[in-house]
Chain A
Amino acid sequence: MLYQIFKLLHQMKKLPVNCPSCENPLVVSQLSCSECETVISGNYSLPVLLQLSKDDQDFIFEFILTSGSLKKMAAKMEKSYPTVRNKLDDILEKINSLKN
């Protein structure tokens, strides 16, 4: 099941998080129901995790799938432990700067 979710996430279109014109963060201004076509307009900021790159999101997802074990992740990604830990630290830094 989790593998299928992961596969689906891989197949999803990339969500733009920054304006291609001025590079400022984008916000959600419209949500719609694909069944009844109800449309909600507003101004919602994107969750922090969605503001990360696709690569970083995949990493976090993999981190959850391995129950937070960097050793397992390193073996799965065929990378060394410090490389995986450094990647996690870089993501944490990005999250902290996005939160501020």
Chain B
Amino acid sequence: MKTLLFKPFERYSEQKLLITGVIATIVGALLTYALNCKFIGVLKLTFVDDGSFTQSILDSLVIISCLTIFLFIAAKYIYKKTRLIDIFVTALVAYIPWYILPIFNINNTLKVATDNILKFSSPELANQMPLENLVPLVIFGFFTLSILAWFTALLYNGFKTAANTKGIKAMVIFGVALLLADIASRYLIYHIN
């Protein structure tokens, strides 16, 4: 079970991982669109009113492409024999946990809660902030952190397997590549819309 959840790249073939990743990405994009959410970067989810399925698929493509490109460059720098397919399936599969987050916005729960809280954002109204709107956001925040940790662990394990790497230097290079992928994806998604 631990292998399946955190280290699938050590065990499963690239064909199985590719099929799983592609199906999950399509389902994830559908879920993101249907539940009025939008990924505006590798590490950022927001709520929208006017999304489209095509836009949702395009956002996923940008995110997966940015992750693949930056991680592949980093992996090639560390280990010359790294294959593009291994990094691509790592990006596809590691991103699966993020598709759980839109489920929290069923019936626009989080969007409504955020909008209500924003009404009380000025200092003089802050003490009147309704608690019932704060609770779902706190729960969502906690789950987002868990998902972020799961995603990072999955992505790093995939990167480690693809680039046959260990040690702090590899961790730093991985971290830089992830941050660059996030920045590039935010820039691209912003300009595509």
Binding site for B on A (CB under 8 A): 74-75, 78-83, 85-86, 89-90
A/B interface sample: 8 pairs, CB < 8 A = A74-B13, A79-B10, A80-B11, A80-B13, A82-B86, A83-B10, A83-B161, A89-B81
Known contacts A81-B86, A85-B81; can you find 12 more A-B pairs with CB under 8 A?
A74-B13, A75-B13, A78-B11, A79-B10, A80-B10, A80-B161, A81-B13, A82-B83, A82-B86, A82-B164, A86-B161, A89-B81
Q: Which residues of B (3-23) have their CB < 8 Å from a CB of A?
A: 9-14, 17
Given the complex of chains A and B, what is the CA–CA distance between A89 and B78 in angstroms?
Answer: 14
Q: How many residues of B contact A (CB 8 A)?
A: 13
CB–CB B164/A86 < 8 A: yes
B110 interfacial contact with A, CB 8 Å: no
4 interchain residue pairs of minimum CB distance: A86-B164, A83-B10, A82-B161, A82-B86
User: Which chain A residues lie closer than 8 Å to B10 at the CB level?
Assistant: 79-80, 83
User: Which chain B residues lie closer than 8 Å to A90 at the CB level?
Assistant: 164
CB–CB A79/B164 < 8 A: no
User: Which chain B residues lie closer than 8 Å to A78 at the CB level?
Assistant: 11
User: Which chain A residues lie closer than 8 Å to B162 at the CB level?
Assistant: 82
CB–CB A82/B11 < 8 A: no
> In the assembled complex, how far is the CB of residue B174 from the closest CB belonging to chain A, in whole angstroms?
16
